[in-house]
Amino acid sequence: MTVVQISRRERKKLELRDRICDETARLVARHGVEGTTIDAICDCADIAKKTFYNYYSSKHDLLIDICQSRLLNRTEQMVSAALTRTSRLDEGIDIVLSEIAANNRRAGKLEKQLIDYLVANMGINRNQGADQLSFMNRCFLRFFSSADEQIRPGLSAAFCAEMTVGMVNTATLNWLHNDDYKLDLRLQELAEYIKHSMLVSASTTTQ
Amino acid sequence: MTVVQISRRERKKLELRDRICDETARLVARHGVEGTTIDAICDCADIAKKTFYNYYSSKHDLLIDICQSRLLNRTEQMVSAALTRTSRLDEGIDIVLSEIAANNRRAGKLEKQLIDYLVANMGINRNQGADQLSFMNRCFLRFFSSADEQIRPGLSAAFCAEMTVGMVNTATLNWLHNDDYKLDLRLQELAEYIKHSMLVSASTTTQ
DNA sequence: GCTAAACTTACACCCCGGTATATTTTTCTT
DNA sequence: AAGAAAAATATACCGGGGTGTAAGTTTAGC
């Protein structure tokens, strides 16, 4: 039955990698990104420093990995889910942006730290790995490309995707560093704006 | 005649501050931001490390100061200049975005390093000082506020300013980390988009 | 079971940003 | 010209990210 062609060695490696991530997440939730040292991570995960560097080439690498699994992939899934629920981009935009708002609203300390790290380091590909900004761009590119005909003539899917990412990011950043920033309202405003300016108005719809 | 109420002490302090900035700029142009160490800066400026920290509280502080004087203030002046040349926001947008494109096109290594640092650290106000993102927002807010009546009904000047900053930043970031990115074209596209979607079309104009 | 390869470990070390201390030099005041 | 205040200095140090080495441990495959 179990065709899992995975050796004990490989399995243990995966487990350890997970443990490193989990312990790091715990520490970041408690002490923030800057306050979380590699040594502390190694202590908690009960490994030697050198072992850590067998798994991640740098602290940045580790953090991006955590962001990828806990934020970026989630966003991608959200966008995909929106596309399966509707084939109309205007509805999709509403769904996605309101979900982003909801996620941020209920974000705990860990999530806020991660969002902060991620958005602030957007486009920093210190390492080989694909950078986060491109990831988001591709994610929204898939969204807009799924229905070119709903995009306003003159605009390209790539342009819409890039600018959407840029606007969402800037709103998120402003929210993170501005206590009285109303992210929900801004994203709602943004959704209206995007629908109105990037998409052809669906003739059969509200007002 | 010379009413300059500035003591030798104050003058020397200003000179030294300038020297620190200049030497840092030279080093950054040659070795990048990461490759420029405080020790190297102190060597070049011929001061003790402790003296450096009398002038700047951190490396970040210094870099932001350099960015402020060489990028942000320039942008602000550009926006102001655009407003004196025309009272029409659509023309202003064209002027500003094409100048940003031109500036980036002829940016040397130093400028690219600074833009990179600045955009990547947008919103990171590690220190007390006003952060850079707010600065840009205020800058464009002044722009849009100067002629509310030209803004599309339903949109606010604050919203337009924020989103403009976000879109320009994301385009800049994509350009920095993507060799075949056509920033000129994107910014042109963006200018058209902004004019069309944020501003009321001036009835007396082209097509 | 035995061996080779993969992996982990402890420990010492480098680099860099930033701090502490105690002393000397420069400038301002009068 | 002398004393006070401010600034600059050399030097040693700390903490954290990251590396190098040489030995020890686990695993895979026979």
Q: What is the DSSP letter of B199?
A: B
Q: Which of B140, B138, B121 is nearest to B65 (CA)?
A: B121
Beta bridge partner(s), residue A151? A199
Measured CA to C1', what is the nucleotide nearest A53? D18
Query: Which residue minimizes Cα–C1' distance to D21?
Result: A50
Tell me the residue range of the domain where A17 lies: 1-56
Inter-chain contact A167–B169, Cβ cutoff 8 Å? no
Q: Which of B131, B133, B174 sits opposite A162 (nearest CB)?
A: B174
CATH of the domain at A37: 1.10.10.60
pLDDT confidence band for B185 (50 / 70 / 90): very high
User: Could you say which of A29, A56, A83 is where a domain stops?
Assistant: A56
Same-domain check for residues A171 and A93 = yes
Q: pLDDT > 90: what percent of chain A?
A: 82
Cα of A174 to nearest chain B Cα, Å: 7
Query: A45 and A13 share a domain?
Result: yes
Nearest-nucleotide field for B36 (CA, C1'): C16
Distance between A29 CA and the closest CA of chain B, angstroms: 19
Alpha-carbon distance B15 to B57, whole Å? 18
Same domain, A20 and A75: no
How large is the average pLDDT for residues B165-173? 95
Nearest CA in chain B to A122: B120
- B64 and B45 in a single domain? The answer is no
Measured between its terminal Cα atoms, the distance across chain A in Å is 57
pLDDT at B177: 86
CATH number at residue B165: 1.10.357
The mean predicted confidence, pLDDT, of chain B is 91
B11 CB contact with strand D at below 7 Å: no
A35 has a pLDDT exceeding 90: yes
- What is the rounded distance in angstroms from the CA atom of residue B166 to the CA atom of residue A175? 13
Rounded Cα distance, A131 and A123, in Å? 6
Single residue among A56, A83, A101 that ends a domain in this structure: A56
> Which member of A123, A154, A163 has the closest CB to residue B177?
A123
The C-alpha atoms of residue B26 and residue B23 are separated, in whole angstroms, by 5
Choose between B7 and A164: higher pLDDT.
Answer: A164
Residues A198 and A140 in one domain: yes
d(CA B124, CA B130): 10
CB-based contact, B192 to chain A, within 8 Å: yes
Residues B37, B139 within the same domain = no
User: Is residue B42 less than 8 Å (CB to CB) from chain A?
Assistant: no
Q: State whether residue A158 sits within 8 Å of chain B by CB.
A: no
* Distance, CA of A38 to C1' of C1, in Å: 40
Chain B residues 120-139 within an 8 A CB cutoff of chain A: 120-125, 131, 133-134, 137
pLDDT at residue A6 greater than cutoff 90? no
Residue B206: pLDDT band by 50, 70, 90 thresholds?
A: very low
Can you give the distance from the CA of residue A55 to the C1' of nucleotide D20 in angstroms? 17
Residue A197 CA and nucleotide C25 C1' are separated, in Å, by 66
Identify the pLDDT of residue A96. 98
pLDDT greater than 50 at residue A149: yes
Q: Which of B125, B173, B189 sits opposite A123 (nearest CB)?
A: B173
pLDDT at residue B10 in the model: 84
Query: What pLDDT, on a 0 to 100 scale, did the predictor assign at position A7?
Result: 76
Cα R_g (chain B), whole angstroms = 20
Question: Which of A9, A34, A56 represents a domain boundary (last residue)?
Answer: A56
Q: Are residues A140 and A152 in the same domain?
A: yes
On chain B, the residues whose CB falls within 8 A of the CB of A178 are 134
SS3 B79: helix
Q: Flag whether pLDDT at A1 surpasses 50.
A: no
Q: What is the mean pLDDT of chain A?
A: 91
Distance B52 CA to D12 C1' (A): 18
Q: Rounded to a whole number, what is the distance in Å from the CA of B123 to chain A's nearest CA?
A: 6
pLDDT digits (tens, 9 = 90+) for A62-98: 999 999 999 999 999 999 999 999 999 999 999 999 9
Which pLDDT value is given to residue A130? 63
**Within this chain, do residues B48 and B65 fall inside the same structural domain, yes or no?**
no
Q: What is the mean pLDDT of residues B77-92?
A: 96
pLDDT of residue B193: 98
Do A67 and A51 fall within a single domain?
no
A205 touches strand D (CB under 7 A): no
Kindly report the backbone phi and psi dihedral angles of residue A199, in degrees, each rounded to the nearest multiple of 5, phi listed first: -115, 150
On whether the CB atoms of residues A144 and A89 are closer than 8 A, the answer is: yes
**In a shared domain, residues B20 and B71:** no
Q: Name which of A123, A159, A165 is nearest B176 (Cβ-Cβ).
A: A123
DSSP code of residue A202: P
Task: Give pLDDT, residue B3.
Answer: 41
Nearest Cα residue to B176 out of B118, B94, B90, B132: B118
Structure tokens at A12: 């243990």
Question: How many domains is chain A partitioned into structurally?
Answer: 2
**Are A155 and A87 members of one domain?**
yes
- The pair phi, psi for residue B178, each rounded to 5°, is -150, 105
Residue A202: predicted pLDDT: 63
Does B163 lie in the same domain as B75? yes
Residue nearest to nucleotide D19 (CA to C1'): A50
- Chain B CB contacts of A171 below 8 Å: 162, 166
pLDDT at res. B202 = 63
Residue of B nearest to A182 (CA): B159
